[in-house]
Amino acid sequence: MAVEYVTYQGIKFPPAYNSEQSLRFTHKEFQVQDDDVFNVTYPKSGTVWMIEILSLIRSGGDPAWNRAVLNSTRVPWFTTRLGLESALSYPRPRLLTCHLPVQLFPTSFFGSRAKVDQAGCAWGLQYRAGVTGAKVVYTLRNPKDVLVSYFYFSKMCSSYKDPESFEQFLRDFLSGDVPHGSWFDHVRGWMEMKGKKNFFFITYEELQQDLRGSVRRLCQFLEQELDEGAITSVVENASFRAMQENKMCNSTLLPKDIMDQEKGTFLRKGICGDWKNHFTVAQSEAFDTIYQDQMGGLMEAFPWGAH
């Protein structure tokens, strides 16, 4: 059946999980609590990985919760219809997840005066430091790897249009004509928050390179002290292999009409640099030109910036 995306404020969303009403509600009316922790990503950047890490940290390194309860219940997708119900009945302190670009994030997180401040805050939103203690963990990944992962995911997930070809998907990704909008806008928007004390930025590549160090930094940010044994347990239980074996996070429990496991695997490769197996030299150069143009000075801020 043909997929018709839901559009909210000019951005497309997959129809199985979102409606215009649920997106408007989470944008305009969802009440952020002081002790909420948000896991925010552009798709395919390490969302479910961070869900495992955050839940393991929350349970002091004990994997029982991760092994017994679905990831979508532990850290609900609060912008989706079902996720919103879970989020509203979730006992505080909540762990929540979304792919929202910053301009569609709940306004209750920000000051509501919708005017551009003198410093030129991009979306006309002002952060009210001290009013809310809610925290955001934003994970980003080399966009070329995001694109490859997104390409395969779109093939297996019924709520996404099956890409015509890699070349076409590349064109759509570069022009931002994909669900959840442009990677460039998403990252640039959230990067405006860099330096705020309630924002934590991390890359997929850092998680790969030094998961233990990343978990330590996250614990510090979340003000949750874990001893070395507990950190070891987080690292072990959030490994690619452990996650592949855990039905509560490997997506194999999803019904075929949502995710067809015969068409692919959600935890597909879990590596950095798979783009090199997919991009031609010309495609990579075209990507770099647009990346440079869109990201400008932000380029060097990321581990893949120099390449």
Residue 79 beta carbon to ligand PPS: minimum distance, rounded to whole angstroms: 13
CB of 300 to ligand PPS, least distance (A): 24
Contact call for residue 189 and ligand PPS (CB under 6 A): no
The token duo for 269 is 């490769």
269 binds ligand PPS (CB under 6 A): yes
Residue 149 sits in the site that holds ligand PPS (CB under 6 A): yes
Q: Please report how close the Cβ of residue 208 comes to ligand PPS at its closest, in angstroms.
A: 6
CA dihedral in degrees (230, 232, 236, 240; nearest 10)? 110
- Which residues fall within 8 angstroms of residue 116, CB to CB, at 6 or more apart? 124
Which position among 16, 121, 267, 301 is part of the footprint of ligand PPS (CB under 6 A)?
A: 267
Sign of CA dihedral 216, 217, 220, 222: negative
- Among positions 62, 236, 260, 274, the unique one binding ligand PPS when judged by CB under 6 A: 274
Segment near ligand PPS (CB under 6 A); pick from 38-46, 87-95, 106-114, 130-138: 38-46
Residues 100/300/268/237 CA torsion (nearest 10 deg): -80
Please choose, from the candidates 57, 85, 59, 91, the residue with its C-alpha nearest in 3D space to the C-alpha of residue 72. Answer: 85
**CB of 226 or CB of 243, closer to ligand PPS:** 243
Nearer to ligand PPS among residue 58 and residue 127 (C-beta): 58
Could you tell me which stretch among 40-48, 100-108, 117-125, 214-222 binds ligand PPS (CB under 6 A)?
40-48
46 near ligand PPS, judged by CB under 6 A: yes
- Taking CB under 6 A as the binding criterion, the range among 37-45, 56-64, 128-136, 292-300 that sits at the site for ligand PPS is 37-45
Distance CA 252, CA 265 (A): 8
Smallest distance from ligand PPS to CB 293, Å:
25
- CA-CA-CA-CA torsion for 297, 301, 302, 306, nearest 10 degrees? 60
Which of 45, 108 has the CB closer to ligand PPS? 45
Does 56 bind ligand PPS (CB under 6 A)? Our answer is no
Q: Does 49 bind ligand PPS (CB under 6 A)?
A: yes
Q: Supply the residues annotated as catalytic.
A: 99
Give whichever of 107 and 274 is closer to ligand PPS, judged by the CB atom: 274
183 near ligand PPS, rule: CB under 6 A = no
266 within 8 A of 282, measured Cβ to Cβ: no
- The yes or no reply on residue 43 touching ligand PPS (CB under 6 A) is yes
- From CA 223, how far away is CA 187, in angstroms rounded? 25
Encoded one letter per residue, x for contact with ligand PPS by CB under 6 A and - for no contact, window 219-238 reads -------------------x
Q: Is 243 in the site for ligand PPS (CB under 6 A)?
A: yes
Contacting residues toward ligand PPS, per CB under 6 A:
41, 43-49, 145, 149, 152-153, 238-240, 243, 267-270, 274
